[in-house]
Amino acid sequence: VRARGVLSRVISRMTNRVLVAALSLWAGHACSSRHQRKVLSRVVTRMTNMVITAALAHWVTQTSTFRRQRQVLSRVIALMTHRTISAALHRWIENHRELQRSRGVIAKVAARFRNKVISGAFLKWATDASESRRSGGILRRAAEKLMGRSV
């Protein structure tokens, strides 16, 4: 009976040692798992932060590039607009000069035409006046002859 008690205690101790060893192994494994989870969490957080940082840096670069492109395009559009307006103004100035020149030419032509008409009218008047004087002289001589006066 005593041997049975000793045997029972030895088996109980062995069982307890196996249980303690299993519990200790489980506790070590659980602790290791928690540590690995923390390490993996830090790695994932670091990788996430790197991705976010890279995305933000890319966004900043793109925004800066787009802003610069917008400025350049604004300058190009302004330059093109100024050139268009300048060309239109130069065309208007040239058209105005041509109009002034045409008006001058037309005024000279009109003056020449007017002078020719006036000259023609004056010559006609002079001819008519001379003819009238000559006719008046002939009529006067004829009237004097008719009245008996001799010239």
Q: List pLDDT tens digits, range 62-109.
A: 999 999 999 999 999 999 999 999 999 999 999 999 999 999 999 999
Instruction: Please answer whether residues 150 and 144 qualify as being in contact, where contact means their C-beta atoms are separated by less than 8 angstroms.
Output: yes
What is the distance between the alpha carbons of residues 15 and 9, in angstroms, rounded to a whole number?
10
More confident residue, 97 or 150: 97
CA Rg, the chain, in Å? 63
User: Is residue 112 left, alpha or beta, with left meaning phi > 0 and alpha meaning psi from -120 to 50?
Assistant: alpha
In terms of pTM, does the model score above 0.75? no
What is the distance between the alpha carbons of residues 70 and 58, in angstroms, rounded to a whole number?
18
C-alpha closest to that of 44 among 52, 54, 55, 33: 52
pLDDT tens column, 16-26: 999 999 999 99
